[in-house]
Amino acid sequence: MSGNHIIFVLLLPILFPTLFTDASPTIPLDLNAPNFRHSRLAKSALQCQTSNEEQSELWTPLAHQGWKPCTESDAASTVPEKSEGYIQVFLDGGLNQQRMGICDAVVVAKILNATLVIPQLEVNPVWQDSSSFEDIFDVDHFINVLKDDVAIVKELPNEFFWSTREYYGTAIRPTRIKTAPVHASAHWYLENVSPVLQSYGIAAIAPFSHRLTFDDMPKYLQHLRCKVNFQALAFVPHIRHLGDALINRLRYPSSEGNMVSNNNYLREVTDLKPKQGAGKFAVLHLRFDKDMAAHSACDFGGGKAENLALAKYRQVIWGGRVINSQFTDEELRSQGRCPLTPEEVGLLLAALGFDNSTRLYLASHKVYGGERRISALRSLFPLMEDKKSLASSEERALIKGKASLLAAVDYYVGMHSDIFVSASPGNMHNAMVGHRTYNNMKTIRPNMALLGQLFLNKTLTWSEFQESVVEGHQNRQGQIRLRKPKQSLYTYPAPDCMCQA
């Protein structure tokens, strides 16, 4: 088959989308199937070739930037001989929001000289996931790493058996703290929670997300936050084993027997020694679910039917109260407020030098528009994989239907990839950017405002588009950015979690 014929075949899903079915074994389909919006750029991207020199530069790890991980405090960290009481927290949100809440809970317990009860994770209201801390994180490792800093117990003693989420949900209780302000200071906890501990021996803080400030904190408390996030929070073994299997299959796709799915395979894969000829791969977190699409109030090319469906969804979920809805689509895009579609992410990657030989792992729970919307990305990157394409249903049995565990596997694979790309800002983006910065790993952060303006310009040639993308992302690939006031140290770990080497 000639080169022109190959390009035509790859372009078929873009040029003639109605010829292809909407069914996908990997990604569910929404009713409002979109139209492809940038087929002219996509056609040029498929014809573009990346030189060996450009490929080498693209995959070269980050040079040392003069910073190193640093979580040991100058102040001696000890557990008080006598605990002031027990601290409970109830954490909302998805995996990465809960992760940050766990780190803050440890520090609050330290501030109060209290014993922390393993945090309770609320049922995720979006994904209906009831996974507990113990289902996701290695509890024994968590307790052991922090044993010299904070007293932690798996359960309350019998005398406090009554202190449950249900108990606090039925009436006002004197042991529940529900007035903690967003980004409260250490002093606030000493003034408002310590008296409750002294009176009752227990205090339950709910809600707790984002309830501890990032500023004006003693250095040893900031270091403790870092220690929890980067050392104490390890995933349970079966998540790590599945992640190792996926990583192995991405790096060695042609290995004999690499897709065997017997019950012992996960254990066998983690015992493999490093081999020569390991392939490189990138992880793409494609944050394009229905909630994000609707909340953005942007137009994604699905026509009047899609726009009406998203408007109705906004009304049901948020009562129509979305700040962005007062702006036009052009204004939102030029301001970088519209999440990138799979097609737009594909064009970004192609402009940066990734090509059809790139092994791309798709880290996403659900894509709005299903396979119809994702087909443009797949046409550019035919070697794109995800959990379902790389692992058998038997291997995925323990994480099936559990959004937090699915996200944990993606997080683990993302932390072992050569390059991580997050399509749009969010909790996963923030957590991964921070963690990979801590380890000096290449992480591409899309310039949303630039891309929004480029995609609005329908006259740009591919070379003009590519030149603008490359120039606009030169300093968005993992370079150290020092945390500014009010910013999260979980996203910007320097200088709180890092030392100058």
Q: What is the pLDDT along the chain (501 residues), one digit of tens a residue?
A: 555 554 444 444 444 443 333 333 333 344 454 557 898 999 999 888 888 888 889 999 999 999 999 977 666 568 888 999 999 999 988 899 999 999 999 999 999 999 999 999 987 666 678 899 999 999 999 999 999 999 999 999 999 999 999 999 999 999 999 999 999 999 999 999 999 999 999 999 999 999 999 999 999 999 999 999 999 999 999 999 999 999 999 999 976 445 544 444 454 444 444 444 579 999 999 989 888 899 999 999 888 999 999 999 988 888 878 877 789 999 999 999 999 999 999 999 999 999 999 999 999 878 898 888 899 999 999 999 999 999 999 999 999 989 999 999 999 999 999 999 998 888 899 999 999 999 999 999 999 999 999 999 999 999 999 999 999 999 999 999 999 999 999 999 999 999 998
Q: How far apart are CA 279 and CA 268, in angstroms?
A: 20
Could you give the count of Cα atoms lying within 13 Å of 273 in the half-sphere of its Cβ? 1
The phi and psi torsions of 392 (rounded to 5 degrees) equal -75, 165
Is 392 in contact with 260 (CB distance < 8 Å)? no
Q: Can you tell me which residue has the tokens 């450009």?
A: 54
pLDDT value of position 6:
45
Which amino acid is present at 492?
Answer: Y
pLDDT value of position 76:
56
| DSSP symbol at 339 | P
pLDDT value of position 319:
84
pLDDT value of position 127:
64
Of the candidates 123, 117, 116, 115, the residue with the CA atom closest to the CA atom of residue 98:
123
Contacts of 440 (CB under 8 A, 6+ apart): 62, 64, 65, 67, 478
